[in-house]
Structure 1
Amino acid sequence: MPLRDTMTGYAIIRPVAALSLAAALGLGLMMSPAVAQPGIAPAANAQVSPQSMVSHRAAYKLNLDRVRQGGEVIGAEGAMLFEVLDACDGWTTRQRLQLTVADRAGSLVETASDYSTWESKDGRRLRFTLTQSAQGAVTQRISGEAVLKGAGQEGAVRYESPAQTEVKLAPGTLLPMAHTIRTLEMARAGERLLVTPLFDGTSEDGAQDSTTILSGWTAPKPAVRFPLLANQGSARMRIAFFGQNAASAAGAAAPEYEVGLRYYANGVADEMNMDFGDFAVNAVMQSLDPLPSGC
């Protein structure tokens, strides 16, 4: 776990990564450092590493949570399939999403997206492709590669589609899996806020500013529905994404998209809430299966 532009754009959720949602959440704060809030010190073995992330396939059912009063949307439902695979030198992800939105006039808009990435384990390179469609017709294709010079350093995105262009990435920009690992590390350490530019390849305008608010770390529960989540601690987080230069004259900015979710220590997210402004949907995990690693 994108879905954040117009009705025909409601078609991608960051893996957050993943996706990060952090992979996501204040424009005027773009270059601010992460802020640590008081919390419980982590255990000696609390560090989350790339090796902690598990290859898996997860299926989710999407249901309407709420609508904006006076808005046009009255219903939404769909499904999402998300896969993460350890590719030895990096992580590959694929996210396929289908969403049907109903409006007050009785119209149904059927949207779909297919989003794939490869991200190096050092968090410095990301190859990405995204295809979005509405009513069966392709509405957007984005592809290219992002390269960061090093940890905390600047970088650039070279787009192949929709046009061959290059966009700079600000120092401190994170890629999706790196963002997921960072937020899990912070949650285990008792930190509460991460503000950073985030690039995931779902926009042709480069990185978005993001703010991630983290809850405290929750110890593993004795009984869980899915075996892959057994013996895994977790943390809830709320991620907001902002367009570049979106702050108002008063210095405030409304996020383009927000997502709340629970991430487990192995990088699996089970409960999500995606807020697109006019409406929000819940994503409830229906199945979770391990995938074999090629390493």
Structure 2
Amino acid sequence: MRVVRLAVLALASSASAVGYASATPVLVPHRAVYDVALDEASDRSGITSLSGRMVYEFNGSACEGYTVKFRFVTNIENGESSRVTDQQTTTFEEAGGKSFSFATKSFVDQQLEREVKGTATSEGNGLKVSIDKPETEKLDLAATQFPTQHLVELIDNAEKGETFYETTLFDGSEDADKIMTTTVIVGKKAETASSDPEVSALAGLSKDKYWPVDIAYFNPEGEGGEEVPTYRISFKLHENGLTRDMTMDYGDFSITGKLVNLTVFDNPPAGETCDQ
């Protein structure tokens, strides 16, 4: 599953009373907890039941850079047996998008199944990727942006009224060897209904408006000639950056993520000026 991509984009910054005094949104440190459940599954998926929880913790600022700690635990049943998956990811994105470090450990029934670790650096007209695990490897990729830059671009475009655009992204997911093309659709801004099941978790943010957003991820151009997205996610993006009410479509199956708990940490000063 492309859950890392979910973490670094869909589970984006939430906050209370966040303003947009400048062109760059203020991404507020927070911890968000989501309950996960199976939405739909085809016979091909073999999945009969899925439940779990995601915990996403975001810290940092535009000056210090951004750290994300993410954990996604699921119990998956196929009718005859079950397995528990546990994905743990830590990333750091340097201020200005100069570099991006990533480390992911994936466990199945408490046994380490895969570990990916490395760093990507923007240099000139391209991206230099240095992978440490599972094997040492050096890659040269096209110029692109990292997850927080992708998020800032999304919020900025939504504020400007953009309803559709295409961009690219490197997030260190899977084998950390690809730049994904993303198409983003932003719907009309709406108000949260009093009957919304996530209202209690939103607390003081329940009056904030949001945009319905849909993002499709495609493999690099020319790879397999695919025009069907490898992954798709839809969610509600609040004016302050909070993301919730997610549906993650992996093709053979889809899952939902509902916000159940939100903790906002100390806000960085609005209009913060970085020391050179």
**Bucket of the pairwise TM-score, normalised by the shorter protein:** 0.7 to 0.9
1:16 corresponding residue in structure 2: 8
Return the match for 1:99 from 68, 74, 96.
74
Is the contact made by 2:67 and 2:90 (CA closer than 8 Å) also made in structure 1? yes
Question: Greater relative contact order: 1 or 2 (C-alpha under 8 angstroms, separation 6 or more)?
Answer: 1
1:242: which partner in 2?
Answer: 218
Deviation at 1:246, TM superposition (A): 6.1
Stretches of structure 2 lacking an aligned partner (at least 5 in a row): 13-19, 270-276
Cα distance change on mapping 1:187 and 1:74 into 2, 3 Å: same
Identity of aligned residues (%): 25
Q: For 1:18 and 1:246, how far apart are their aligned partners in 2?
A: 26
| Contact kept in structure 2, 1:77 and 1:99, CA below 8 Å | yes
- Does 1:229 pair with 2:205? yes
The alignment's TM-score, normalised by the length of structure 1, stands at 0.77
For the residues of structure 2 that align with 1:154 and 1:75, how far apart are their CA atoms?
A: 42
* Alpha-carbon spacing, 1:165–1:71, altered in 2? closer, same or farther (3 Å): closer
Deviation (angstroms), 1:292: 2.8
For the 8 Å contact 1:235–1:264, the answer to whether it is kept is yes
Q: Per-residue CA shift, 1:222-258, capped at 9, x if unaligned?
A: 975424635644222222223335654xx54332222
For residue 121 of structure 1, the aligned residue among 70, 95, 103 is 95
Contact 2:211–2:238 (CA<8 Å) still a contact in 1? Answer: yes
Match of 1:160 among 132, 138, 142: 132
Equivalent residue number for residue 268 of structure 1: 242
Find the aligned partners of 2:207 and 2:11 in 1 and give their Cα distance: 22
More helix by share: 2
1:79-98 superposed matches below 5 A: 79-87=53-61, 88-98=63-73
Correspondence for 1:29: none
Q: How far does residue 48 in structure 1 lie from its aligned partner after superposition?
A: 5.1
1:44-63 deviation line (CA, Å, top 9, x unaligned):
x686514x111110000001
Of 40, 47, 61 in structure 1, the residue corresponding to residue 35 of structure 2 is 61
Q: Which runs of 4+ in 1 moved over 4 A?
A: 45-48, 219-224, 245-248
Q: Compared with structure 1, are the counterparts of its residues 272 and 131 closer, same or farther at alpha carbon in structure 2 (3 Å cutoff)?
A: same
* CA gap 1:232/1:206 in 2 versus in 1, 3 angstroms: farther
**Alignment gaps of 5+ in structure 1:** 5-10, 21-44
1:73 partner SS: coil
The DSSP-based 3-state class of the residue aligned with 2:96 is coil
Give me the whole-angstrom Cα distance separating, in 1, the residues matched to 2:91 and 2:186.
28
Question: How many residue pairs align between the two structures?
Answer: 256
Where does residue 23 of structure 1 map in the other structure? Answer: none
**Structure 1 residues 194, 206: CA separation in 2 closer, same or farther (over 3 Å shift)?**
farther
